[in-house]
């Protein structure tokens, strides 16, 4: 825990500390979401490689993969702004 250093008012210091905690929580949550998206993308890739165009859901899997990659990109951009 960081000690209060008198460079700001105690209230400002407490507010900064609370904001930092919320940022850390948000980054942890979104990092977890990105890991899930990565695993899903890898699983879809594995499915597409294994079953190829012969699969009756090939095109749908390919579209889903594109949507997940887009969601991942947006989540990463949001994390970069935090």
Whether the CB-CB separation of 33 and 73 falls below 8 Å is answered with no
Q: Is 43 helix (H, G, I), strand (E, B) or coil?
A: helix
The percent of residues above 90 in pLDDT, for the chain, comes to 59
Average pLDDT over residues 8-28: 82
pLDDT at residue 40, as a whole number: 97
Domain boundaries, the chain: 20-81
Q: Which of 62, 63, 68, 67 is nearest to 40 (CA)?
A: 68
pLDDT at residue 5, as a whole number: 64
Tens-place pLDDT, residues 35-70: 999 999 999 999 999 999 999 999 999 999 999 999
pLDDT at residue 18, as a whole number: 82
Which of the four pLDDT bands, split at 50, 70 and 90, describes residue 19?
confident
**What sign for the dihedral angle of Cα 41, 42, 46, 47?**
negative
């Amino acid at each position: 825990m960081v000690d209060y250093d008198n460079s700001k008012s105690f209230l400002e210091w407490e507010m900064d500390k609370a904001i930092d905690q919320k940022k850390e929580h948000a980054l942890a949550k979104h990092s977890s979401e990105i890991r899930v998206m990565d695993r899903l993308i890898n699983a879809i890739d594995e499915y597409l490689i294994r079953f190829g165009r012969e699969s009756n859901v090939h095109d749908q899997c390919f579209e889903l993969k594109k949507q997940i990659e887009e969601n991942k990109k947006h989540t990463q951009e949001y994390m970069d702004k935090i």
